């Protein structure tokens, strides 16, 4: 393995066959960071001089599917075919699920703690309605189903300046 080194803004960057493989940073106080990358430039390992480390795994689409740090904290993620997170879980017990429409807009979210929300979008992918499990609900001002807009007719008259005095 032949590495070439290039220093970029106080960071030594090591390349293998033209692809970034490792970096090393050291500040004026002696704090250091080492990072390792895969062939797709994803950071797969981070280590600092305080002893903190994190390891990461990625899928074929470069989505981070698993990480674990030196404190034992772990995260797992599942993605749909459009790279949207559809399931998230961590080692502290937090978990959620998300659903998306054909335009990759999140339309439903549900957490392991019981919180849930739903979203609706117009044909331009603008959010027009939001409702959650706590009873909060909001509509976009442009949504014709907004209770403020139902049954309201608006007569818009052109505005002109009177320039005669």
SS (H, E, C) 65-118: EEEEECCCCEEEEEECCCCCEEEEEECCCCEEEEEECCCCCEEEEEECCCCEEE
pTM of the model: 0.77
Give the separation between CA 45 and CA 10, rounded to whole angstroms: 20
Q: Which of 86, 117, 116, 122 is nearest to 103 (CA)?
A: 122
Collapsed DSSP state (helix, strand, coil) of residue 154? coil
Q: Walk along the chain (165 residues) and give the pLDDT tens digit of each residue.
A: 688 989 988 899 999 888 899 999 999 999 999 999 999 999 999 999 999 999 999 999 999 999 999 999 999 999 999 999 999 999 999 999 999 999 999 999 999 999 999 999 999 999 999 999 999 998 887 666 665 544 444 444 444 455 554
Calculate the alpha carbon distances from 81 to 40, 95, 108 in Å: 19, 20, 17
């Amino acid at each position: 393995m032949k590495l070439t080194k290039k220093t970029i803004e106080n960071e030594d960057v090591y390349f293998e066959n033209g692809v970034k493989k490792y970096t090393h940073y050291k500040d004026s106080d002696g704090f250091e960071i080492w990072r390792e990358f895969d062939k797709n430039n994803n950071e797969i390992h981070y280590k600092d001089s305080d002893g903190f480390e994190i390891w990461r795994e990625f899928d074929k689409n470069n989505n981070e599917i698993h990480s674990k740090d030196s404190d034992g904290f772990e995260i797992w993620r599942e993605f749909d075919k459009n790279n949207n997170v559809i399931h998230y879980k961590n080692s502290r017990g937090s978990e959620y699920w998300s659903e998306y429409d054909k335009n990759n807009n999140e339309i439903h979210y549900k957490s392991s703690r019981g919180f849930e929300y739903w979203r609706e979008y117009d044909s331009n992918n603008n959010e027009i309605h939001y409702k959650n499990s706590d009873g909060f609900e909001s509509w976009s001002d442009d949504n014709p189903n907004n209770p403020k807009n139902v049954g309201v007719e608006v007569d818009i008259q052109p505005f002109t300046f009177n320039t005669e005095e």
